Every structure is written in structure tokens, then in C-alpha cells.
């Protein structure tokens, strides 16, 4: 029993003490926040009417405390009932004192002596709790590697402000806190895991922000969870250099954002930009009414269709791969360079006969000096230069013209002594002079505009489709030999898109890249660090564009190649990302093998399925030791019987669990199930669609391609009309479906529709 722990009483006393201090701090900060508009210092100066004890006088003098209290006000409020979750006893090398450090989700410093009552989990020393074993250990701080000795690693289960359990960890394996965390049911939102972060995950969270980081993690290894904790860590660690607004998470869809949204404030990560790739690209392009985006699931559905002929599928795949390739980027680069060269006007910039800026100089400005700017911004810049130079030259030219006429008039004067005769000759010259001066002035008003107008004006989409529908341009600027037939198919596919004013998801990267090269973007982009989740769905060109337009390599990429159901457009190999996208620095690469979501029994079956991929690089997940029932698998001859069984099963599971998913192969199958359930009225289930933004608890029917990233207590995998066959897409879809479950999987299939499972040994299934 917990209270048998020898230190139970002293720890309970300590907890009371910390809670007392914490509550007092909150109270004081409350007063400040509510009543005083001035500085914290003033607030504390007025405190004697509240409490005159000496400690508060000290508080007044302790700015560190004040800052900490104000900054941590929200987080301290959140941890009132659970101020910390662990304790480490650590003695740094060269330090005389062994420190007892209590680790929690906020930071609390004692005003009187600066003692850390709670150490934030993101502080450097907290790494010892996550990674250190008892005995000699080390952690990385701002100063470098700190050596020391770890004497105690203790976990607390605290509920409603009372210690429920104390667990001392001697060897890191299988800590009980993790076990109990994993047993819990799936909420409708993702959890924060600050108290149970594992050593390999801690490495990802704390990996250097300045270097690109690529994380290949098996299903359920905590990638999404870690991504959020990593941002929380950045915000804490780089508080002085970065604002939360400088960070951005790119998630696969709105529903996913909703799914992760609640954990963010808990981690103190409110103001981070959360977006989807599509939303971000639309923002950059300003995709208006003129262009629409084609349904992004259409292609996947085509590729899943067993009836569709392979040639048609190959065309889709080739086109998507090509649009996502760096080869296309090279083509765009080459073509834009040519356009740049051709854009230089044929004439010098001159007023009268005076050359102000020669054509060569103009070329220099455009092709060299302003090369760092998008092409059209260079024209704008050149405009300013021309205007400034013209202003100077105009005065000269006017002066010279006047001088010329003064000379001419003087000569007439000396030539004609007779006043009448003189006047007769002089007046036309005066008129001529005035006209000339007027003309020069008028010319110089429009001179710059006329010159700049010589530069070609092309609208982004016209430019884009011009390249994408032209086999000649594509062939000319490609560094590789491209198959002519493929190119023709590609161009005619693009012609159809152009004609219908539609773009597809794969067009975003080249379009945004082209806009970046030609026009630039309206608003300044302030994002400096990006986290991309489910990144296996991104092409090399997509990664490249994000890196280029944000002008940053502070990019964290998390994904799982085995779940790459969009591999026709995504990445199949992280090495390429490292070698071809991030060329200036060596990226960090971390693999996560441990899976936390599901039970050993479910993971073993999922591994049997994914082995069919026969990919040498496939990393099989190693489940955390947590047992459950083996998945059940039933084949049917009668689909009505199958539907009735699903209905019964959902009825049983809803009593037991918070979230249940019926994963069907595609939407039409989902609709059939929904209609059946609606008619029977015994159980309720919603059908998930891609545009849906919220994710509620209860039973939900999910088309297989929308299941990635999500998790449910129990999963029913159903295939009635569409099977799972031995194709890489089906293998991945089934793998994703199986790995969504925390506790139970039940598979319902029409006879012969699931050859992938039929060949798995019966030992993997419940009897
Ligand atoms: N250290 C941990 N302590 C407790 N729970 C954890 C830990 N790591 C991961 N989990 C849990 O494991 C589950 C899977 O996490 P998450 O969804 O982040 O994984 P993922 O790698 O993104 O999965 P997938 O690729 O399958 O979508 C979640 O329920 C998460 O809370």
C-alpha cells in the first residue's frame, strides 16, 4: 500500500508545504492582476494590508519571484491540485549539496531564498528524470554537458492534492506511471504526457532546434504528442528569442487540429499557429474564387479501386510524383531564369539623348544586384532607382537645354542689331525653347513608367499553366530525360485542370514556389520554426517550399513511412529529405520503435500485416508491455448478418469505452453501415468526413484513409464491398486501421475479402 512507503509522511508534509506556498503565490498574483495596473513591484509594495508577515517584505525585493509568479500565473493555477509528479535527488559534480528537485508542469521559486520548489519539466536538469539511471549521469544545459550523480528517482501519483502513491524507480524499464497512463481510456483529445515521457522521446523533444530534425516513428510511438511537447519545450527554452507566434504546426486536417488543440493550452502553447498544409498554402496563394481545389481524397479512392486499370493508376502516380519532385523545381528554376533574362528591355533608359541607365546596367540590377528579390519586386526596386537617377539627370538636361537656347538667343542678338529684325528671329527661338523644356518635363514624368512597362506582365496562373502544359518547356529545362508519352499525358491532364480553373493538392508546391520566385508574398512571414506531423504524406518539393519561403531550417518532421497511404505523392525515404531538401546542414535523424498506444496482441497482428510490404527499411513496432485480448476476426457469407453483428458489438462496447471507431475501407461502405445503424436505432454512429472539424467521443464510422493520426479505445475493421489485398496501399491502410486501437480490435469481413489477414496464422486471433 502506498502509505507504507517509508517517506510517505514526510512527502505528504512536503506536498502540503508546496501547495500552501503555491496557493499564496496565486493569491498574491491574483491581487496584482485584478487590482493593480502598475508593475509587480508596486503591487507587492501595497501588500501589507493583506498580510504583514516578514516573508512578504522579502517578496517585494525579489524580482525573480515576481516575474516568475506573473509569468506562471496560469500554469500555477492549473497545477494547484497536482504541483509535481516526480522527484529526483541529484548532486552535480563539484556541488557540495545533494538537491531534492520536484518536477512538475510549472515553475515555482521560493521568494525568500530562491529555492526551486517546483522545477519545470522542460528545465535542463529535468532531463535527468527522463533519461538518467541511478548513479553517475549527465544532462545538457546551456553551458554544456553537466555531470553528476542521481540518488533517487521517484514518481508520485497525486489526486486532488493528496498523494495516492509513491513509486521509486531503480531501473528505468516499464515504469508504473506509464503503465497506468496507458491503461486509461481514449479521451476525445490528445493527452499531455509530461510525467511519463520516455528517454527516446525526451531526446526528440530536446533535440537542437536549429538543425532540421526528422523523426521516423512507428504507429503509436507518440510522434504527435512529442511534437506538441517539443514546441512547449522551445517556448520555454527560447523564451527570450522567440515568441509563440513564431512557431507553427502543420497537421493533416482540421479535425486533427481539433484533436490536438486541448493539449496545447495545457502545455502552455496557446498562441502557436496551428494550420493544415492546404490552409497555409491557400493563405500564401490567396486562392480566391477564380480557382478551386480538387477533392484531395479523389485520387486515393481511384488508386484503391480494384476495378480501375493499372495503366490509369500509373498515370495518376507519375503525375503526382512529378509534381512533388525536385526535378520540377529545377525546371521552374530554369524557366524562370530564362524569363528573367528575356525580361530585360531592349533599350537604354534615357532622357533625350542622354543615357541615364544603360541596358547593361539594367540587366545587372535585375539579374545580379536584386537577385535576392522575387522578379516583380526587382522591377519595383529598379523603378525607384530609375526615378532617383532621372531626377538628377532631368535637372542637367533642362539646364543644358536652357544653356543651349541662351547661347542661341545671344548669337541672334549679336547678329541682328535692328530690334525689330532681332525680335522676329528671337521670338520663335523662345517659343521653341519653352516647348522643348515643357516636353522634357512631360517626358520625364512618364519616362520611368514607360520603361518599366516594357517588362512583361504575366499573371501567376497563366505563367504556371504555360509551363505545366508545355512538353517542350518541361523537356528543355529538365535535368533528366523525361518519357515523352508520360509528359504528354501529364500536360493534357494539366490542360483539363487549367480549363476547369481547378488545382489539385500537388499543384500547391510548384505554384507557391513560382509565386515566391516571381512575386513574393503580401504579408511578411514571421514563422521561424515549423513542426510537420504525418510528414510521410509530404513530397520533397513540399518540404523544400516550406523551407524556402519560411527561410528556415528549424524544421521538425515527424512521420511513419509504413503509414504512407499517400505515398504516390509523399515521401518513401527520409534519406532523400535529408540529402536533397536540407543541403546546407546535416539533419538529425531519430527513429522511435517503441509503440505506446496499443496492446502487444494488437501490435503483433499489425506487424504481421506490415511485413507484407517487404520494404527493407520497415521498422517493426515494439509495443510497451501491456496485454489485452487478441483481435477477433470473423468472415461472413451474409452481409446482413455482418451488419447485425457490428451493431451488437458497438452496443456492447459503448458501455465499456469512451471512443469506438468502425473503420471501413471507403466512404460508400461507411454510408451503408450508417444507414443500417440508423434504421435499427439501437446504436448511434456518425460518419466522419474530411471537412469535419470536430471529433467527439462515442461511436464513429471512419473511412480508412481518414483514420491516420487518430486513436480509439476499440476499433471495428469492416470490409464488405471492398477488400484488403496484397498491394502496398491496402497493406498500409489495414496497418493504420489496426494501430488506431488502444484496447480492442474486431475484424468483420466478407468471405475472401481479406487475403492479407487470411494468411496470418490463427494464433494471432482470439479463438
Ligand atoms: N510517454 C508516454 N506516456 C504516456 N502515453 C504515451 C506516451 N507516448 C505516447 N503515449 C500515448 O500513445 C498514444 C499514441 O501517441 P501519438 O498519437 O502521439 O502517436 P503517433 O506516433 O503520432 O501515432 P500514429 O503515427 O499512429 O498516429 C497516445 O495515446 C499517447 O498519449
At 464-483, the pLDDT tens digits run 999 999 999 999 998 888 88
Q: Which atom of ligand 1 is nearest to the CA of 198?
A: 1
* Model confidence pLDDT, tens digit, residues 287-308: 666 788 888 888 888 888 777 7
With a 6 A CB cut-off, is 597 part of the ligand 1 pocket?
yes
With a 6 A CB cut-off, is 224 part of the ligand 1 pocket?
yes
Q: Give me the pLDDT at residue 574, please.
A: 92
What spacing in Å lies between the alpha carbon of 597 and ligand 1's midpoint? 6
* Model confidence pLDDT, tens digit, residues 48-67: 544 555 555 455 445 555 66
What spacing in Å lies between the alpha carbon of 453 and ligand 1's midpoint? 57
Residue 504 in domain = no
Q: Which CATH number do you get for residue 649?
A: 3.40.50.300
Q: Which atom of ligand 1 is nearest to the CA of 219?
A: 26
- Quote the CA–CA distance of 555 and 143 in Å, as a whole number: 24
Q: What is the mean pLDDT of residues 661-690?
A: 91
Residue 621: partners with Cβ closer than 8 Å, 6 or more residues away: 218, 219, 220, 221, 593, 594, 595, 603, 606, 607, 739
Domain stops at, among 429, 454, 479: 454
Residue 328 in domain = no
Q: Is residue 113 pLDDT above 90, yes or no?
A: no
Residue 514 in domain = no
* 85 and 234 inside one domain: no
* 350 and 415 inside one domain: yes
Q: Is residue 744 pLDDT above 90, yes or no?
A: yes
Q: Is residue 276 pLDDT above 90, yes or no?
A: yes
Indicate which residue's Cα is closest to atom 19 of ligand 1: 222
Indicate which residue's Cα is closest to atom 13 of ligand 1: 597
Q: What is the mean pLDDT of residues 9-28?
A: 90
The C-alpha cell 482470439 sits at: 766
Q: What is the mean pLDDT of residues 78-82?
A: 88
- CB-side exposure of 242: number of CA atoms within 13 Å? 24
Q: What is the mean pLDDT of residues 713-723?
A: 91
With a 6 A CB cut-off, is 217 part of the ligand 1 pocket?
yes
* 569 and 634 inside one domain: no
Q: Of all residues in the chain, what percent carry a pLDDT higher than 70?
A: 92
Q: What is the mean pLDDT of residues 480-496?
A: 92
Q: Which atom of ligand 1 is nearest to the CA of 190?
A: 31
* 659 and 733 inside one domain: yes
Q: How far is CA 466 from CA 325, 344, 498, 723, in A?
A: 18, 20, 10, 41
- Total domain count, the chain: 4
With a 6 A CB cut-off, is 560 part of the ligand 1 pocket?
yes
With a 6 A CB cut-off, is 564 part of the ligand 1 pocket?
no
Q: Which atom of ligand 1 is nearest to the CA of 708?
A: 27
Indicate which residue's Cα is closest to atom 31 of ligand 1: 191
Q: What is the mean pLDDT of residues 555-570?
A: 90
Ramachandran angles phi, psi of 530, nearest 5°: -125, 145
Short-list 518, 257, 576, CA closest to 379: 518
With a 6 A CB cut-off, is 610 part of the ligand 1 pocket?
no
- Quote the CA–CA distance of 444 and 447 in Å, as a whole number: 5
176, 200, 596: residue to mutate for ligand 1 pocket, most atoms within 8 A of CB: 596
With a 6 A CB cut-off, is 191 part of the ligand 1 pocket?
yes
Residue 712: partners with Cβ closer than 8 Å, 6 or more residues away: 186, 657, 659, 660, 661, 700, 740, 741, 742
* 539 and 391 inside one domain: no
What spacing in Å lies between the alpha carbon of 197 and ligand 1's midpoint? 10
Cell numbers standing for residue 104: 512538475
Q: Are strands 116-120 and 594-595 parallel, antiparallel or unpaired?
A: unpaired
* 139 and 19 inside one domain: yes
Residue 651 in domain = yes
With a 6 A CB cut-off, is 667 part of the ligand 1 pocket?
no
* 144 and 259 inside one domain: no
Q: Is residue 2 pLDDT above 50, yes or no?
A: no
With a 6 A CB cut-off, is 201 part of the ligand 1 pocket?
yes
Residue 693 in domain = yes
179, 214, 225: residue to mutate for ligand 1 pocket, most atoms within 8 A of CB: 225
With a 6 A CB cut-off, is 595 part of the ligand 1 pocket?
no
Q: What is the mean pLDDT of residues 668-684?
A: 92
Residue 295 in domain = no
* 572 and 628 inside one domain: no
* 137 and 234 inside one domain: no
Domain extent at residue 229: 213-289+524-595
What spacing in Å lies between the alpha carbon of 182 and ligand 1's midpoint? 9
Q: Give me the pLDDT at residue 172, please.
A: 46
Q: What is the mean pLDDT of residues 368-377?
A: 94
ipTM of the complex: 0.99
* 591 and 645 inside one domain: no
Q: Which atom of ligand 1 is nearest to the CA of 736?
A: 26
What spacing in Å lies between the alpha carbon of 339 and ligand 1's midpoint? 49
Q: Give me the pLDDT at residue 637, please.
A: 94
* Model confidence pLDDT, tens digit, residues 571-589: 888 999 999 999 877 899 9
* 240 and 381 inside one domain: no
Output 754-758 pairs: Cβ under 8 A, ≥24 positions apart. 754/635, 754/719, 754/723, 754/724, 755/723, 755/724, 755/725, 755/726, 756/609, 756/612, 756/724, 756/725, 756/726, 756/730, 756/731, 757/609, 757/633, 757/724
What spacing in Å lies between the alpha carbon of 139 and ligand 1's midpoint? 25
Indicate which residue's Cα is closest to atom 26 of ligand 1: 219
Residue 477 in domain = no
What spacing in Å lies between the alpha carbon of 710 and ligand 1's midpoint? 10
Q: Give me the pLDDT at residue 27, please.
A: 84
Comparing 695 with 25, the larger pLDDT belongs to: 25
With a 6 A CB cut-off, is 92 part of the ligand 1 pocket?
no
Q: Give me the pLDDT at residue 572, please.
A: 84
Residue 299 in domain = no
* 260 and 370 inside one domain: no
What spacing in Å lies between the alpha carbon of 652 and ligand 1's midpoint? 26
The C-alpha cell 496557493 sits at: 23
Q: Give me the pLDDT at residue 738, please.
A: 97
The C-alpha cell 496497418 sits at: 735
With a 6 A CB cut-off, is 474 part of the ligand 1 pocket?
no
Binding site residues for ATP, as ranges?
Answer: 217-224
Indicate which residue's Cα is closest to atom 28 of ligand 1: 597
Q: Which atom of ligand 1 is nearest to the CA of 596?
A: 12
CB distance 316 to 309 below 8 Å: no
What spacing in Å lies between the alpha carbon of 223 and ligand 1's midpoint? 6
Q: What is the mean pLDDT of residues 220-224?
A: 92
Amino acid at each position: 500500500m502506498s502509505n507504507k512507503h517509508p517517506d510517505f509522511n514526510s512527502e505528504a508534509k512536503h506536498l502540503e508545504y508546496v501547495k500552501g506556498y503555491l496557493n499564496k503565490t496565486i493569491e498574491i498574483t491574483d491581487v496584482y492582476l485584478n487590482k493593480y495596473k502598475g508593475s509587480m513591484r508596486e503591487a507587492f509594495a501595497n501588500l501589507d494590508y493583506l498580510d504583514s508577515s516578514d516573508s512578504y517584505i522579502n517578496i517585494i525585493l525579489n524580482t525573480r519571484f515576481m516575474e516568475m509568479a506573473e509569468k506562471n500565473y496560469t500554469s500555477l493555477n492549473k497545477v494547484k491540485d497536482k504541483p509535481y509528479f516526480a522527484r529526483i535527488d541529484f548532486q552535480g559534480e563539484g556541488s557540495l549539496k545533494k538537491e531534492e528537485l520536484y518536477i512538475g508542469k510549472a515553475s515555482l521559486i521560493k521568494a525568500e531564498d530562491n529555492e526551486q520548489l517546483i522545477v519545470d519539466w522542460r528545465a535542463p536538469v529535468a532531463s535527468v528524470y527522463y533519461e538518467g539511471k541511478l548513479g553517475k549521469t549527465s544532462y545538457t544545459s546551456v553551458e554544456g554537458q553537466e555531470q553528476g550523480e542521481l540518488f533517487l528517482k521517484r514518481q508520485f501519483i497525486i489526486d486532488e492534492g493528496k498523494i495516492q502513491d509513491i513509486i521509486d524507480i531503480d531501473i528505468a524499464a516499464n515504469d508504473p506511471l506509464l503503465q497506468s497512463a496507458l491503461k486509461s481510456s481514449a479521451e476525445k483529445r490528445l493527452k499531455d504526457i509530461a510525467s511519463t515521457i520516455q528517454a527516446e522521446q525526451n531526446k526528440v523533444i530536446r533535440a537542437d532546434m536549429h538543425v532540421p530534425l526528422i523523426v521516423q516513428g512507428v504507429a503509436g510511438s507518440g510522434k504527435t504528442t512529442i511534437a506538441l511537447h517539443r514546441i512547449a519545450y522551445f517556448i520555454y527554452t527560447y523564451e527570450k528569442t522567440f515568441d509563440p507566434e513564431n512557431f507553427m504546426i502543420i497537421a493533416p486536417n482540421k479535425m486533427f487540429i481539433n484533436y490536438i488543440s486541448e493539449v496545447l493550452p495545457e502545455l502552455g502553447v496557446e498562441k502557436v499557429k496551428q494550420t493544415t498544409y492546404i490552409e497555409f498554402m491557400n493563405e500564401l496563394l490567396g486562392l480566391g474564387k477564380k480557382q478551386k481545389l480538387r477533392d484531395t481524397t479523389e485520387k486515393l479512392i481511384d488508386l484503391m479501386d480494384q476495378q480501375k486499370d493499372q495503366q490509369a493508376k500509373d498515370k495518376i502516380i507519375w503525375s503526382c510524383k512529378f509534381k512533388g519532385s525536385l526535378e520540377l523545381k529545377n525546371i521552374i528554376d530554369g524557366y524562370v531564369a530564362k524569363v528573367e533574362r528575356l525580361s530585360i528591355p531592349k533599350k537604354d533608359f534615357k532622357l533625350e539623348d542622354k543615357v541615364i541607365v544603360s541596358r547593361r546596367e539594367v540587366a545587372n540590377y535585375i539579374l545580379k544586384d536584386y537577385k535576392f528579390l522575387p522578379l516583380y519586386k526587382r522591377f519595383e526596386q529598379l523603378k525607384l532607382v530609375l526615378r532617383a537617377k532621372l531626377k538628377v539627370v532631368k535637372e542637367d538636361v533642362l539646364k543644358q537645354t536652357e544653356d543651349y537656347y541662351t547661347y542661341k538667343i545671344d548669337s541672334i542678338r549679336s547678329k541682328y542689331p535692328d530690334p525689330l529684325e532681332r525680335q522676329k528671329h528671337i521670338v520663335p527661338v523662345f517659343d521653341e525653347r519653352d516647348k522643348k523644356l515643357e516636353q522634357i518635363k512631360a517626358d520625364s514624368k512618364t519616362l520611368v513608367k514607360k520603361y518599366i512597362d516594357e517588362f512583361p506582365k504575366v499573371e501567376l496562373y497563366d505563367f504556371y499553366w504555360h509551363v505545366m502544359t508545355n512538353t517542350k518547356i518541361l523537356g528543355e529545362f529538365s535535368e533528366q530525360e523525361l518519357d515523352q508519352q508520360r509528359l504528354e499525358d501529364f500536360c493534357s491532364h494539366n490542360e483539363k485542370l487549367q480549363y476547369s480553373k481547378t488545382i489539385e493538392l500537388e499543384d500547391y508546391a510548384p505554384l507557391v514556389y513560382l509565386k515566391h520566385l516571381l512575386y513574393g508574398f503580401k504579408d511578411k512571414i514571421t514563422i521561424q520554426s515549423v513542426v510537420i506531423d504525418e510528414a510521410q504524406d509530404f513530397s520533397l518539393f513540399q518540404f523544400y517550399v516550406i523551407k524556402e519561403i519560411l527561410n528556415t531550417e528549424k524544421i521538425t518532421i515527424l512521420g511513419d513511412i509504413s503509414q504512407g497511404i499517400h505515398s504516390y505523392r509523399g515521401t518513401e525515404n527520409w534519406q532523400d529529405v535529408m540529402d536533397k531538401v536540407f543541403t546546407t546542414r546535416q539533419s538529425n535523424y531519430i527513429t522511435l520503435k517503441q509503440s505506446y498506444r496499443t496492446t502487444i496482441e494488437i501490435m503483433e497482428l499489425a506487424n504481421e500485416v506490415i511485413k507484407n510490404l517487404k520494404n527493407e527499411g520497415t521498422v517493426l513496432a515494439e509495443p510497451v508491455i501491456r496485454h489485452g485480448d487478441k483481435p477477433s476476426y470473423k468472415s461472413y457469407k451474409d452481409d446482413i448478418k455482418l451488419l447485425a453483428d457490428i451493431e451488437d458489438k458497438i452496443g456492447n462496447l459503448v458501455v465499456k469505452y469512451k471512443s469506438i471507431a468502425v473503420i471501413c475501407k471507403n466512404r460508400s461502405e461507411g454510408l451503408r453501415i450508417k444507414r443500417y445503424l440508423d434504421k435499427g436505432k439501437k446504436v448511434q454512429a456518425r460518419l466522419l468526413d474530411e471537412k469535419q472539424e470536430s471529433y467527439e467521443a462515442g461511436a464513429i464510422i471512419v473511412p480508412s484513409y481518414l483514420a491516420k493520426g487518430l486513436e480509439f479505445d476499440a476499433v471495428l475493421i469492416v470490409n464488405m464491398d471492398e477488400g484488403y489485398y496484397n498491394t502496398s496501399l491496402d497493406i498500409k491502410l489495414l496497418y493504420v486501421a489496426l494501430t488506431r486501437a488502444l484496447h480492442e480490435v474486431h475484424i468483420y469481413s466478407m468471405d475472401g475479402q481479406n487475403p492479407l489477414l487470411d494468411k496470418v496464422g490463427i494464433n494471432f486471433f482470439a479463438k
